[in-house]
Amino acid sequence: MDFLAPSTWAEALAAKAERPDALPVAGGTDVMVELNFDHRRPDALLDLTRVPELREWAWDDGRIRLGAGVTYARVIAELGDRLPGLAMAARTVGSPQIRNRGTVGGNLGAASPAGDSHPALLAADAVVEIASAARGTREVPVAEFFTGVKRNALAPDELIAAVLVAPPAGPQQFCKIGTRNAMVIAVSAFGFALHPDRKEVGTGVGSAAPTPRRADAAAAFLAGELEAAGLWESRAALPDGLAAEFGRRVRDAAAPIDDVRGTAAYRLHTLSVMARRAATWAWDEHRRAA
Amino acid sequence: MTSTETRNVGKIGDSPLRPDGTLKVTGEFAYSSDLWHDDMCWGVTLRSPHPHARIHSIDVSAALATPGVYAVLTHADVPGLNRVGLEHLDQPALAEDVVRYQGEPVALVAADHPETARRAAKRIVVDYEELPALTDPRRALDDDAPLVQPGGNLVRELAIRRGDPAPTAPVVVALDFEVGMQDQAFLGPESGLAVPDGEGGLDLYVATQWLHVDQQQVCRVLDLPPDRARLHLAGVGGAFGGREDLSMHVHACLLAMHTGKPVKMSYSREESFFGHVHRHPAWLRYEFGATEGGRLIYAKADILFDGGAYASSTTAVVGNGGTLGLGPYDIPSVHVDARGVYTNNPPCGAMRGFGCVQAAFAHEALMDELAERVGVDPVEIRALNGMREGDRNITGQLIDSAAPVAELIRTVRDLPLPPPPDDRPDIRDLPGGASNTTHGEGVVRGIGYAVTYKNVGFSEGFDDYSTARVRLEIVGGEPVATVHTAAAEVGQGLITVEQQICRTELGVDRVVVHPKNTMVGSGGSTSASRQTYVTGGAVKAACEAVRESVLALSARRLGVSGLRLDGDKIVSASGEVLAVLAEVLADEAVEETVEWHHRPTYPVDPETGQGDAHVQYAFSAHRAVVDVDVELGLVKVVALDTAQDVGRAINPDAVVGQIQGGSAQGMGLALMEEIVVTDGKVRNPSFTDYLIPTILDMPPMQVKVLEYADPHAPYGVRGVGEPPTISSGPAVAAAIRAATGKALRRVPVRPEHITL
């Protein structure tokens, strides 16, 4: 197995162009497990940990540009106020050791339906910045990034450069079900964002379909009800049953399976509860912020 | 393992620091997986992918042709009897014509690198014909069930009959319960190093629980006399019963003998799940008859243990499940049937709590049911029915030392309760923790209680003993004791206990613990909560023999009789100090070896199950307080408090450590720990999906240690390690039932059992 260790972003892109079979490795919290289990034996590994550009985050034209190599620990420590949903998700990732290694870019690269970042990024309408040596950069909305179980929109010569996220205009929430109180892979997860600036609602459903996905119909329903009742302006309390109905519609957006971590029925049930609770918490926070 | 010497003064009742403690928490302890030998090669095991299959042929040629490979072995290469097993020799060291469970060892490879060996193992071509698999133990004894073993699918059946054969009662409660398959989940996977001695024998360095029984098994398969296969204890990363059976022992030795090279084997975490036995899953049907006031009149139990493909310790587990399966209660009439059967599921055997864990979930759930039916609270119904010293248990054995059931359960009840849930709690204190699933919504608190009793030591007539060699000599002008036993230190703190006993008996400060190996007689198994009792008893007896010899020597040298030892001083009958040890011993060493047996036990009557089956009983009680998010089914254990009678705490810190660890392990079974087996295949052989409690799942504990000395045991000790694992889980399950109002007749309790 070849081990490619570029020290600049340009070198990394060149290496990926030359060796499209090379498997990128960031924190290694997924890739190394697969190698150790002998589930995967790529001909080459492309180590991205020496590329300084990936470790940066900065403001970029009104958005946070989060380098693909920024760890969960830094998201929590440095971006908790600017990327609140993603930081909440980051707090649920593994153990402190894993959070020190694992990166949001790596999570996107692995594209697991259970990836903790994904529901938060979906709810926040994040955009993935993708680059190649041949074609430069392109932006893909995260909702279009996941193309199948552990598959994503990257071409063989492309790498994930960054994630672009607008700062929150309203409250965000993230909830995750696991069968112990720490260090679990999500049985199901839900990301939620209120966008009062454009009177919209963002959602993200994890571990409950072949890919992470949004619950667009549920989001449109809730945004519409808020609009119809004039609540975006009045910030009055949610009408009885609205959050619960939103929860049911989120559940309807999911297509989970039974597996060793939980049943499909339980996953659906938890999505309806998490969505109801998350919407309620976010709305209450929105009201308090008035 | 190197010898251990500490100079911390610490006699029995003190808590001297354990020598391995700092090394373990700083990552410097040498575990068996750290063993290394120049010129060693690596062994790996090819295992069956099928739960039940016939082997038509094994073609090793491609594997053998792999560069770097030294040997590829199958059953045809076994020089001795190709059978292993703790109680029945029913398991091939390497499969012959049939495999009976997924993961059964089929072939071995030795190579210059573990990766080379793994690649080569994949090139072994085994022609399997899959056979119908028996995977539901409830069907094992049906006429049309596939036969797992040639002699039939029953491992053991035990009937216990006592009192009125057809009892009636005004109040009758009954339930069915099911317990999932728990894993020992020790942190140090199976590993060891076999080193040929160039003279036809070898040395095996291995992490194990009982060196001598391993030695017997290794020698039988290798066709070697015991003095040609010497076993040495390597650093053990936890055991909990999972190292009683052989894992890589014989395999590494076969490869070492075949190649003439040192061979190391070290399982991955995934292989570890296939490399040791698990706790028996159980199906239990219980019925209690009682007075209107809740006093038990009779109890019936039908208990089925899934033994998996090979017997391992199933015979003894059935013994425990039957003889102890109704809990620490005084019950006039009893009807118990316990069975263990073969299936094509993973083999099950010893695990901390050994047959009592499964039964306790059922009898404690039913005791709560009875309490509710008759309107007595859960604590008082246990106090009312609890065993007392002088009672006879369900096998008719006299309980001839303390049996403080009522005191234990009332003690945990009276411990302070945790504060009620906060109005604005930190989410990390709520069910789900940082996963942010509730801010208090749906959270209901529940409290549950449980009691247990557990036998200590080996039972039913087994001659259970340990051997200790103690040497006293003067080194650098100072008396030094050296204690040599083969009793395995698996993390429980036996080394410290051996030193404490030597200091107490011989008045020396310096005690060297000799490396554990088979060059001294058997120490028996580090299991059944028995080592402080039995090896402690042997060390005490050996020290006493040394002391007698020293005094006899002193009497000869000083020409005075009636001497005694006071610290390191030789004192006359009148109290005059006549000499110090250093003067009397000079350059002479006094050494004594003692084989020490505990009180005999007896087989139970085959018809009635009556008899003095056990040597000692240990009692504990737990109170669990849980917060349950009843809408999501998530649980946070808020408090897990316990009281336990330990007879005499030799090392109080170690006692509390055992109780904390055991409680966590029992809680794990109640909440999350299960090997999920579908159609004979393990679905979660990893710590990603086999979940054990983390520090965020385990609450702080209040531990009340009672010390009612057992007059029949050395220093009055009572085994400590297992009871906490038995009563903690049922208390947690009871607390969840109290919070949710759900019956919850299966553990682990999964979230969907609460919500759906």
Q: Encode pLDDT of B599-626 as tens digits.
A: 999 999 999 999 999 999 999 999 999 9
Contact B86, B347 (CB under 8 A): no
Asked if pLDDT for residue B351 goes beyond 60, the answer is yes
- The phi and psi torsions of B62 (rounded to 5 degrees) equal -65, -40
Asked if pLDDT for residue A287 goes beyond 90, the answer is yes
- What average pLDDT does the segment A28-56 reach? 94
Q: To 5 degrees, how large is the angle CA B399–CA B279–CA B740?
A: 85
**Confidence bin at B6 (pLDDT 50/70/90):** low
Contact A192, A275 (CB under 8 A): yes
pLDDT at B756: 84
Neighbours of A82 (CB within 10 A): 17
Q: Specify which residues B351 forms β-bridges with.
A: none
Give me the CATH topology for the region A172-288.
Enolase-like; domain 1 (3.30.390)
d(CA A174, CA A93): 12
Q: Which residues of A touch B695 (CB under 8 A)?
A: 182
A172-288 and A2-110+126-165 share a CATH fold: no
Task: Using alpha carbons, list the distances in angstroms from residue B119 to A3, A33, B65, B74, B193.
Answer: 21, 18, 12, 17, 21
Q: Encode pLDDT of A159-213 as tens digits.
A: 999 999 999 999 999 999 999 999 999 999 999 999 999 999 999 999 999 999 9
Using the Cβ of A248 and the Cβ atoms of chain B, whether some distance falls under 8 Å is answered with no
Asked if pLDDT for residue A44 goes beyond 50, the answer is yes
Closest by CA to A142, choosing from A88, A205, A213, is A213
Pair type for strands A188-195 and B564-566: unpaired
- What average pLDDT does the segment B324-351 reach? 98
Closest Cα of chain B to A197: distance in Å?
25
Q: Specify which residues B626 forms β-bridges with.
A: B446, B637
Closest by CA to B481, choosing from B513, B439, B518, B456, is B513
CB pair distance less than 8 Å for A175 and B433: no
CB pair distance less than 8 Å for B433 and A265: no
Neighbours of B273 (CB within 10 A): 22
Q: Encode pLDDT of B89-146 as tens digits.
A: 999 999 999 999 999 999 999 999 999 999 999 999 999 999 999 999 999 999 999 9
Q: To 5 degrees, how large is the angle CA A152–CA A45–CA A156?
A: 35
Q: Encode pLDDT of B433-485 as tens digits.
A: 999 999 999 999 999 999 999 999 999 999 999 999 999 999 999 999 999 99
Contact B355, B305 (CB under 8 A): yes
Dihedral angle sign, alpha carbons of residues A273, A277, A282, A286: positive
Identity of the residue in A37, A174, A266 whose CB atom sits nearest the CB atom of B436: A174
Asked if pLDDT for residue A20 goes beyond 50, the answer is yes
pLDDT at B5: 60
- What average pLDDT does the segment B280-305 reach? 98
Closest by CA to B246, choosing from B279, B206, B280, is B206
d(CA B521, CA B726): 32
Q: Where are the domains of chain A?
A: 2-110+126-165, 172-288
Closest Cα of chain A to B112: distance in Å?
18
pLDDT at B567: 85
Closest by CA to B552, choosing from B585, B522, B594, B528, is B585
Contact B511, B494 (CB under 8 A): no
Q: Specify which residues B348 forms β-bridges with.
A: B278
Task: Using alpha carbons, list the distances in angstroms from residue B475 to B18, B470, B471, B635.
Answer: 23, 15, 12, 58
Asked if pLDDT for residue A226 goes beyond 80, the answer is yes
d(CA A233, CA A235): 6
More reliable by pLDDT, A290 or B490: B490
- What average pLDDT does the segment B725-746 reach? 98
Percent of chain A with pLDDT over 90: 97
pLDDT at B1: 45
Pair type for strands B296-308 and B98-99: unpaired
Give me the CATH topology for the region B32-131+189-236+243-275.
Aldehyde Oxidoreductase; domain 3 (3.90.1170)
Q: Encode pLDDT of B217-270 as tens digits.
A: 999 999 999 999 999 999 999 999 999 999 999 999 999 999 999 999 999 999
Question: Which amino acid is located at B36 in the chain?
Answer: W
- Average pLDDT of chain A, as a whole number: 97
Using the Cβ of A228 and the Cβ atoms of chain B, whether some distance falls under 8 Å is answered with no
CB pair distance less than 8 Å for A185 and B752: no
- What average pLDDT does the segment B185-205 reach? 97
HEC-encoded secondary structure of B207-271 = CCCEHHHHHHHHHHHHCCCHHHEEEEECCCCCCCCCCCCCCCHHHHHHHHHHHCCCEEEECCHHH
Asked if pLDDT for residue B4 goes beyond 70, the answer is no
For residue B749, give the chain A residue with the closest CA. Answer: A179
Q: Encode pLDDT of B68-81 as tens digits.
A: 999 999 999 999 99
ipTM over 0.90: yes
Closest Cα of chain B to A261: distance in Å?
7
Asked if pLDDT for residue B421 goes beyond 90, the answer is no
Q: Which residues of B touch A173 (CB under 8 A)?
A: 436
pLDDT at B423: 74
Closest Cα of chain B to A13: distance in Å?
31
- The phi and psi torsions of B495 (rounded to 5 degrees) equal -60, -45
Q: Which residues of A touch B113 (CB under 8 A)?
A: none
Asked if pLDDT for residue B708 goes beyond 80, the answer is yes
Q: Encode pLDDT of A100-117 as tens digits.
A: 999 999 999 999 999 999
Identity of the residue in A175, A180, A266 whose CB atom sits nearest the CB atom of B437: A175
Closest Cα of chain B to A221: distance in Å?
23
Is the CATH code 3.30.1300.10 the one for domain B4-30+465-597?
A: no
B360-458+610-755 and B32-131+189-236+243-275 share a CATH fold: no
HEC-encoded secondary structure of B487-519 = ECCCCCCHHHHHHHHHHHHHCCCEEEECCCECC
d(CA A188, CA B735): 26
Give me the CATH topology for the region B360-458+610-755.
Aldehyde Oxidoreductase; domain 4 (3.30.365)
CB pair distance less than 8 Å for A178 and B750: no
Query: DSSP label at B434?
Result: G
d(CA B236, CA B486): 14
Using the Cβ of A173 and the Cβ atoms of chain B, whether some distance falls under 8 Å is answered with yes
CB pair distance less than 8 Å for A266 and B755: yes
**Confidence bin at B8 (pLDDT 50/70/90):** low
Q: Specify which residues B466 forms β-bridges with.
A: B596
Contact B86, B121 (CB under 8 A): no
Q: Where are the domains of chain B?
A: 4-30+465-597, 32-131+189-236+243-275, 360-458+610-755
Neighbours of B544 (CB within 10 A): 15
> What are B257's two structure tokens?
């003998």
CB pair distance less than 8 Å for B636 and A181: yes
Is the CATH code 3.30.465.10 the one for domain A2-110+126-165?
A: yes
**Confidence bin at B9 (pLDDT 50/70/90):** confident
